[in-house]
Amino acid sequence: MKYVGHSVTLDKDKCCGCTICLKRCPTEAIRIINGKAVIFGNKCIDCGECIRVCPNHAKKAVVDTLDVLNSFEYTVALPAQTLYAQFPGMRDRNIVLTALKKLGFDDVFEVSVACDAISRAVTQDLYFDRLPDHVISSSCPTVVRIIRSQFPSLLPNLLNYRSPMELSARWAKKLAMEKTGLPKEKIGCVFISGCPAKATSSKHPLGENESYVDAVLSISEVYPLLQPLLKNIDRPEILARSGPLGVGWAKSGGEAYASQASHSLYADGIENVIDVLEALEDEKIHQARFIELNACPGGCVGGVLAIENPFIAKSRITHIMNHVTPTIPTGSLPEDDMHLDEEVRYNPALQLDSDVKQAMIKMMKIKELEKQFNGMDCGVCGAPSCHALAEDIIMGRGTEEQCIFRKCRKYEERIAQLEKTLEESCERKEHDSK
């Protein structure tokens, strides 16, 4: 998988330049250039909304394929909890975990084990007042990306724990090394994801020195391969390790509930996330001790790489949580290794200029230029809004000619000028002939 700064790729033959994704992108990262949708990588937060809305299925997430299993001597599947919610009537996680082994993985390690551990640690931290006020969960990579580029003042609020995906990969690798005696490089930890942002995270982890996730497979690829295997499992192996609270992280509110914070707030869907971050930045939120934000509607169950409707998936997660599944003990996991290696840093990619004075001047120029467009945000120019086009022009990646209204106005002005010249010339001729 080639890393290009985000996980979304375009099938140019299928893209008709309809502007639907352009209008949906919450960070104005898309432009239509030569009739095709192009993503500005520095603006993309990997929310997957453009994949979700494209009527032609021209956009898809770049993830690995099952062939990756051949690249390692020993492989461990790391299933996101969302995987359990894809199968009707599923109560026992062990059935899905056993099916993953039948698919070719040597072992499985639930990501919900890491969720359980993080929740336990956060509960303690909250109790002993070791976290910043209004601490924001760092488990959704899209939320972390939007904070680091658009809400840098909130970076100190981010929870300083590894993501469940990274933490479970570290632990799974450690256990596999102990079990097999193989070196780290020969063990492949493969995350099974409903979320394209996790693929980017594994290639470009934030706050981590390195990622322990060797590959990311989409639930939509694994699902049709698992389904026939499930039917033949009467006596599943006991492979589940986590408790119900970790499983509950798959749905919006599950992490906040597991934190046992005295006051918590949770929101899902990218617009709601942005609203909450704006309110936090404006100091309009006073009580929330723990804040859980998920970019996908309904939480991770709403990821674009999942199959099932997020509402149905949420109810299945609750069902699974309510049914006790036999589990094996987690063993000795190094719970002192749960924090990020470094703080997540501000991403200045959206700055107009590194010099504050120059940035202000550019901002004023953008506002001035924007006034000259018609304000309809029609998208015909290939930018999502008149403001975005003005910014593109000032930043040297667009031209005024792109605005069809401005072009028409220029033609009208030119025609009016020619008419005036003609009139004046006729009047002069008439005057000369008298």
In the window 175-234, what residues touch ligand SF4 (CB under 6 A)?
none
Name the one range near ligand SF4 by CB under 6 A: 10-18, 63-71, 96-104, 184-192: 10-18
Please say whether the beta carbons of 314 and 300 come within 8 A: no
Residues 57-86, one symbol each (x = binds ligand SF4 by CB under 6 A, - = not), give -xx---------------------------
Contact with ligand SF4 (CB under 6 A) among 3, 56, 178, 331: 56
Distance CA 312, CA 326 (A): 24
Cβ at position 324, least distance to ligand SF4 in Å: 38
Contact with ligand SF4 (CB under 6 A) among 39, 95, 117, 393: 39
In the bound state with ligand SF4, the residue whose beta carbon lies nearer, of 272 and 315, is 272
Please say whether the beta carbons of 315 and 254 come within 8 A: no
Contact with ligand SF4 (CB under 6 A) among 4, 5, 9, 17: 17
**Residue of 136, 143, 86, 80 whose CA lies nearest to 300:** 80
Contact with ligand SF4 (CB under 6 A) among 1, 4, 16, 33: 16
C-alpha R_g of the chain: 26
Q: Which long-range contacts does 120-129 make (Cβ < 8 Å, 24+ apart)?
A: 121/161, 121/335, 121/338, 122/159, 122/161, 122/259, 122/261, 122/290, 123/258, 123/259, 123/260, 126/259, 126/260, 126/261, 126/262, 126/289, 126/290
In the bound state with ligand SF4, the residue whose beta carbon lies nearer, of 15 and 301, is 15
CA atoms within a 13 Å half-sphere pointing along the CA-CB vector of 73: 12
- Sheet bearing 187-193, strands edge to edge: 107-108, 74-79, 187-193, 215-218
Distance CA 187, CA 71 (A): 9
Cβ at position 360, least distance to ligand SF4 in Å: 26
In the bound state with ligand SF4, the residue whose beta carbon lies nearer, of 77 and 270, is 270
Cβ at position 38, least distance to ligand SF4 in Å: 10
Contact between 8 and ligand SF4 (CB under 6 A)?
yes
Instruction: Give me the amino acid identity at 3.
Output: Y
Contact between 305 and ligand SF4 (CB under 6 A)?
no
Structure-block tokens of residue 34: 């030569």
Contact between 50 and ligand SF4 (CB under 6 A)?
yes
Per DSSP, what are the bridge partners of residue 256? Answer: none
In the window 18-37, what residues touch ligand SF4 (CB under 6 A)?
18-21, 24-25, 27, 29-30, 37
Q: How many chain residues interact with ligand SF4 (CB under 6 A)?
A: 28
Residues that bind ligand SF4 (CB under 6 A): 6, 8, 10, 15-21, 24-25, 27, 29-30, 37, 39, 44-50, 54, 56, 58-59
